[in-house]
Amino acid sequence: MNTNPECALCGRFPKKGTTEHHLIPRMCHRNKWFQKNFTREQMQTTIPLCRDCHNAVHKFVPKEKELGRHFHSLDLLKSHPQIAKFATWASKQK
């Protein structure tokens, strides 16, 4: 039985475990726009990602505000063409 959590994007169970990705980046939490549009619980929501997928998310969407405004859910992240392509590729890796 594997005790490591599953990556929310690629579905792998990495040996080194996963990292927590804030769907709304922490640097945006004090921004008035985010405070008006999201609850505290929404801003604190995280998803488990393997290191490869986490790096890919920040590579393909490097601006924190863009991540928070346009990719603040798992479905929205999966809808990003480059992230979806990477996650499909990563799911086939060991």
Is it the case that residue 1 has pLDDT exceeding 70? no
DSSP 10: T
Location of structure tokens 């405070």: 35
pLDDT tens per residue across span 2-45: 457 899 999 999 989 999 999 999 999 999 999 999 999 999 99
- Which helix or strand (DSSP H or E) is residue 14 part of? none
The tens digit of pLDDT for each residue in 69-85 reads 999 999 999 999 999 99
Q: Tokens 């086939």 identify what position?
A: 92
Helix axes 81-91, 51-60, angle to 10 degrees: 160
Report the greatest alpha carbon distance in the chain: 45
Digit-coded pLDDT (tens) for 33-60: 999 999 999 999 999 999 999 999 999 9
